[in-house]
């Protein structure tokens, strides 16, 4: 895992990165300390930070190492550990100037990347997300107002016994911001895919919590996207194969669009959800509930997931099914439900009883209902029998007759959608199947 935190000086990048690393139990890499160490070396040897040629020449003589000992990062400059001496305002300006030299950045680039290759890390700096770790899993651009940053840096310097003033710190900070953001090489700018975090009015703990929330959300999104890509590809392969084998013919798929809805179908067989799923384009987010046991079958589990199955640990409870269906529809996805409640193989759907569950789902989730008819000769699946999956126009929520909810309203809405289902299939009450 690689986390990049960029931003201007004084925003609290180092403190934040160090605290997040501790909570997530990963390695914190203070990249700024590397540049500060080079700036300190230059000053110690009487080299002006503005003398580019001299700075480049000194790199041949510098011994700079970053080691992690006892869970702490230590910078070794010519064999000795450097600490507070590289944190002064004067060294900050040195660091800003030497970091603008391409040869200096190249000198340190591989050191930083090598650490990230072999560890879970969080790095802070000016160009971590844009140059050092462009492939970071999470990128945060931390910022705060000039005044807030200057106050924090002043308190930090005074705590170290460094005598300075708010005005001096603010002036130095603004000058460094200008240098860092306008330099030709690796300017300090927000990466396009970084999340902005302004902590001007946050405490240190609030900043940490906000950063961890961003990290967790971004990691979850990437994980979901990776899984989604796999199942999307699998859906493409599986759906085409099933449509060919079962001779599935979708009709009216233009009536189904992404968004929360209850897709209501007549129920002939357990295969109904499968033929419905393979009839829809892979970009349509459709879900159906499947028993937990099915997900324990190695070959079946990835297939039903690819087709939109959602694991349900219901123990035979219809209440659990309805609750989960409401949750799915509310989240903005289409959930498949059967007004009949049970399978009626070989029977005219118009002559079968219905239950109120789909009406309750639509009411509680405040979503439309989409009628779909699975039509097979004799209402029985068979070898080489054509399966027509006919999608009707959605019935808007406002047209379902809901006022205050209740069994009567659920019943009326269910009857409304089921009559559409029968109409799509040409089913008439009392008539024999053809």
Instruction: Give Cα separations from 21 to 15, 177, 178, 211, 248 (angstroms).
Output: 10, 26, 29, 11, 53
Residue 17 contacts residue 32 (beta carbons within 8 Å): no
Residue 37 contacts residue 31 (beta carbons within 8 Å): no
pLDDT of residue 240: 81
Task: Show the domains of the chain with their CATH numbers.
Answer: 2-224 (3.40.50.300), 247-425 (3.40.1130.10)
Reply yes or no on whether the pLDDT at 309 is more than 80: no
Reply yes or no on whether the pLDDT at 30 is more than 90: no
Kindly give the residue spans of alpha helices, DSSP state H, lying in 307-433.
318-330, 357-365, 407-425
Question: Could you tell me the pLDDT band of residue 316, with boundaries at 50, 70 and 90?
Answer: very low
Tokens 């180092």, residue? 14
Question: Could you tell me the pLDDT band of residue 403, with boundaries at 50, 70 and 90?
Answer: very high
339-387 residue pLDDT tens: 998 889 999 999 999 998 899 999 999 999 999 999 999 999 988 899 9
The size of the chain, in residues, is 434
- Residue 238, classed as helix, strand or coil, is helix
Reply yes or no on whether the pLDDT at 217 is more than 50: yes
Reply yes or no on whether the pLDDT at 264 is more than 90: yes
164-174 residue pLDDT tens: 899 988 898 88
Torsion of CA 17, 22, 24, 29, to 10 degrees: 40
Reply yes or no on whether the pLDDT at 133 is more than 70: yes
Average pLDDT of the chain, as a whole number: 86
- Residue 71, classed as helix, strand or coil, is coil
Question: Could you tell me the pLDDT band of residue 261, with boundaries at 50, 70 and 90?
Answer: very high
267-296 residue pLDDT tens: 998 889 889 988 988 778 778 776 666 667
Question: Could you tell me the pLDDT band of residue 395, with boundaries at 50, 70 and 90?
Answer: very high
Reply yes or no on whether the pLDDT at 300 is more than 70: no
């Amino acid at each position: 895992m690689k986390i990049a935190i960029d931003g201007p000086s004084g925003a609290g990048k180092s403190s934040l990165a160090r605290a997040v690393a501790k909570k997530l139990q990963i390695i914190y890499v203070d990249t700024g300390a590397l540049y500060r160490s080079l700036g300190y070396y230059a000053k110690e040897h009487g080299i002006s930070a503005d003398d580019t040629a001299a700075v480049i020449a000194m790199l041949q003589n510098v011994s700079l190492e970053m080691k992690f000992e006892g869970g702490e990062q230590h910078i070794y400059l010519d064999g000795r550990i450097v600490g507070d001496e590289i944190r002064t305002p004067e060294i900050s300006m040195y660091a800003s100037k030497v970091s603008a030299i391409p040869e200096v950045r190249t000198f340190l680039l591989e050191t930083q990347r090598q650490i990230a290759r072999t560890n879970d890390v969080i790095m802070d700096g000016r160009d971590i997300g844009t140059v050092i770790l462009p492939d970071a899993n999470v990128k945060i651009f931390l910022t705060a107002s000039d005044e807030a940053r200057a106050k924090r840096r002043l308190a930090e310097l005074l705590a170290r016994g460094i005598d300075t003033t708010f005005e001096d710190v603010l002036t130095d900070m603004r000058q460094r911001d200008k240098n860092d953001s306008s330099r030709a090489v690796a300017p300090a700018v927000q990466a396009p895919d970084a999340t902005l975090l302004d902590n001007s009015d946050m405490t240190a703990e609030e900043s940490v919590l906000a950063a961890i929330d961003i990290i967790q959300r971004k990691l979850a999104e990437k994980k979901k996207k990776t899984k989604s890509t796999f199942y999307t590809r699998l859906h493409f392969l599986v759906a085409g194969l099933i449509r060919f084998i079962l001779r599935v013919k979708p009709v009216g798929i233009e009536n189904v669009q992404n968004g929360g809805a209850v897709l209501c179908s007549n129920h002939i067989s357990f295969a109904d959800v499968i033929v419905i799923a393979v009839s829809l384009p892979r970009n349509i987010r459709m879900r159906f509930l499947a028993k937990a046991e099915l997900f324990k079958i190695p070959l079946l589990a990835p297939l039903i997931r690819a087709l939109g199955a959602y694991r349900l640990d219901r123990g035979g409870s219809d209440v659990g099914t309805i609750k989960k269906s409401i949750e799915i529809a509310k989240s903005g996805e289409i959930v498949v439900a059967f007004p009949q409640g049970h399978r009626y193989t070989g029977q005219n759907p118009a002559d079968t009883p219905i239950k109120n569950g789909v009406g309750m789902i639509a009411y509680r989730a405040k979503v439309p209902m989409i009628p779909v008819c699975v039509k097979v000769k004799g209402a029985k699946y068979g070898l080489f029998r054509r399966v027509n999956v006919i999608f009707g126009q959605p019935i808007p929520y406002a047209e379902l007759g809901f006022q205050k909810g209740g069994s009567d309203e659920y019943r009326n809405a269910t009857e409304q959608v089921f009559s559409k289902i029968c109409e799509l299939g040409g089913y008439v009450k009392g008539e024999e199947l053809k």
